[in-house]
Structure 1
Amino acid sequence: MEETISLKEIFEVIKKRILLIISLIVGAALIAAVASYFVLTPKYESSSMFVVNQKQQEDQSSEFTQSDIQANVKLINTYNVIIKSPAILEQVIDELGLNYSVGQLESSLNVSSAENSQVVTVTATNSDPALATKIANTTVQIFQQEIPDILSVDNVSILSEAEMNGNPSPVSPKPMLNIAIAIVLGGMIGVGLAFLLEYLDNTIKTEKDIEDKLGVPVLGVISHVSDDDIQVNQFQSRKQTRSRGEMHGTQEEKVN
């Protein structure tokens, strides 16, 4: 027979394990806060942009045709590979005196362009905002210098250089976002663990549990009496007996 669980039973399980759930939520939030503020290293981004455009020749008209623009857009995919190649990045490492390998520098660079756009954005990520700015600018400059020799074209122009603000803000970690995610995950884990513990708990607690497991009705219930209850009951009985004796003595004195 298929077992079902009602909404009331769900709330009962959550209510029963509410301290466990709250503890996991608070613990996850604290771990995320400590990791975001004290463990993870802040990362800064800086971007430089260049535009891909055919160099004008004296015998050509001053306007670009649609085919020229499409050709430039197709070249961008090639440029995105070249700009992150060892031919460019090794020169960037030498120029800035970086203690990086080509692979490390490549992982810190992101090259992107909007669809059907001739503008390419080179973004460098680093724990030092000033170094991120230098990496972005140097990479674009060296790429502009080397591309004529690599592809025999001269169609790259720097659109804007990376600049460092007076008070740069890190792009990661994001403490509030991390804490919010941790709270959600902590709540989900807490609720899941509460239902798991409830599922694994096969102890008998109520008369209904006995009827469900044994299939017989409950005829009576014997309450558990602790030593404290016995002592309290004895004390109350003695007190009541003493009070009755005093009342009886008083009544006899009045009769006499």
Structure 2
Amino acid sequence: MEETISLKEIFEVIKKRFWLIVAFILGAALIAAVVSYFVLTPTYQNSSQFLVNQSSNQDGTEQFNSSDIQTNVELINTYNIIIKSPAILDNVIEELDLNMTSGALSNKLEVSSAEQSQVVTVTATDPSAEQATNIANTTVEIFQNEIPDIMNVDNVTILTEAELSGQPSPVAPNPVLNIAIAIVLGGMVGVGLAFLLEYLDNTVKSENDIEKHLQVPVLGIISHIDDDDIHVEQLKAAQYNTRRGGFDGSQKESV
């Protein structure tokens, strides 16, 4: 026979383990805050853009058509691979005197372009905002200089260079988001643990548990009496006897 649980029972379990759930939530939020502010290294991003277009001839009479533009768009996919290749990144490492491999530098770069767009964005990520700016600009500059020799084309123009702002903001970590996620996860773990503890708790607490688990009727209940209850009952009895004695004395006097 399947056991069902009502909303009231769910509420009772949560109420019973409320402080355990709160402890998990606060603990997770505290850990996320400490890790976000004191453990994780902030990282910064900066972007440089270049335009892919056919260079005009010297007399300026050459006209662009849709076929040329489509060719440039198709070339961008190739450029996205070339710009992150050792042929380009080795020169960037040498130019900036970076202590890393071309593979490590490639992981710091993201190359993207909007659909059917001739503009390519090169985004660099680094713990140093200044270094991220230098990597983005140097990568695009070296790519522009090297692409004519690699593919025998001259159709790359730098559109915008990355600029270092006065007070750069890190893109990661995001403490507020991390703490929010930790609160949700802490609450889920706390609630899950509360129900697990309730499921593992097989002690008998009421007459309903006896009927449920032992399948026998309850004939009687022995109530538990605390010392405070005994003291209260004694006080009530003493007060009653005092009032009773006073009442009997008044009756004798009247007789």
Q: Which amino acid aligns with 1:214?
A: L
Q: Which position in structure 1 is the counterpart of 2:33? A: 33
Task: Identify which range, 59-68 or 150-159, moves more after superposition.
Answer: 59-68
Q: Which position in structure 2 is the counterpart of 1:44? A: 44
Q: Deviations over 1:84-115 (max 9, x none)?
A: 11111111111111111212111111111111
TM-score after normalising by structure 2:
0.90
TM-score after normalising by structure 1:
0.90
Q: Which position in structure 1 is the counterpart of 2:96? A: 96
SS in 2 for 1:123: strand
Q: Which position in structure 1 is the counterpart of 2:213? A: 213
RMSD of aligned residue pairs (Cα, Å):
2.5
Task: Identify which range, 59-68 or 216-225, moves more after superposition.
Answer: 59-68
Q: Which position in structure 1 is the counterpart of 2:127? A: 127
Q: Which amino acid aligns with 2:217?
A: P
Question: Per-residue deviation at 1:63?
Answer: 3.1
Task: Identify which range, 20-29 or 56-65, moves more after superposition.
Answer: 56-65
Q: Which amino acid aligns with 2:101?
A: S
Instruction: Tell me, yes or no, if structure 1 residue 157 matches structure 2 residue 163.
Output: no
SS in 2 for 1:50: strand
CA distance in 2 between counterparts of 1:224 and 1:47 reads 74
Q: In structure 2, do the counterparts of structure 1 residues 240 and 124 end up closer, same or farther at CA, with 3 Å as the change threshold? A: same
Q: Which amino acid aligns with 2:191?
A: V
Question: Per-residue deviation at 1:224?
Answer: 2.8
Q: Which position in structure 1 is the counterpart of 2:15? A: 15
Q: Which amino acid aligns with 1:83?
A: I
CA distance in 2 between counterparts of 1:180 and 1:245 reads 67
CA distance in 1 between counterparts of 2:243 and 2:168 reads 86
Question: Per-residue deviation at 1:6?
Answer: 1.2
Q: Which position in structure 2 is the counterpart of 1:76? A: 76
Q: Which amino acid aligns with 1:52?
A: V
CA distance in 2 between counterparts of 1:151 and 1:61 reads 24
CA distance in 2 between counterparts of 1:4 and 1:237 reads 45
Q: Deviations over 1:47-97 (max 9, x none)?
A: 000011111124775432111111111111111111111111111111111
Unaligned runs of 5+ in 1: none
CA distance in 1 between counterparts of 2:187 and 2:103 reads 39
CA distance in 2 between counterparts of 1:35 and 1:169 reads 18
Q: Which position in structure 2 is the counterpart of 1:192? A: 192
Question: Per-residue deviation at 1:195?
Answer: 1.2
CA distance in 2 between counterparts of 1:51 and 1:237 reads 95
CA distance in 2 between counterparts of 1:13 and 1:245 reads 49
Percent identity between matched residues is 66
Unaligned runs of 5+ in 2: none
SS in 2 for 1:158: strand
Q: Which amino acid aligns with 1:28?
A: A
SS in 1 for 2:157: strand
CA distance in 1 between counterparts of 2:238 and 2:65 reads 110
Q: Which amino acid aligns with 1:21?
A: I
Q: How many residues align?
A: 255
Instruction: Tell me, yes or no, if structure 1 residue 110 matches structure 2 residue 110.
Output: yes
Question: Per-residue deviation at 1:129?
Answer: 0.5
Question: Per-residue deviation at 1:122?
Answer: 0.4
Q: Which position in structure 2 is the counterpart of 1:171? A: 171
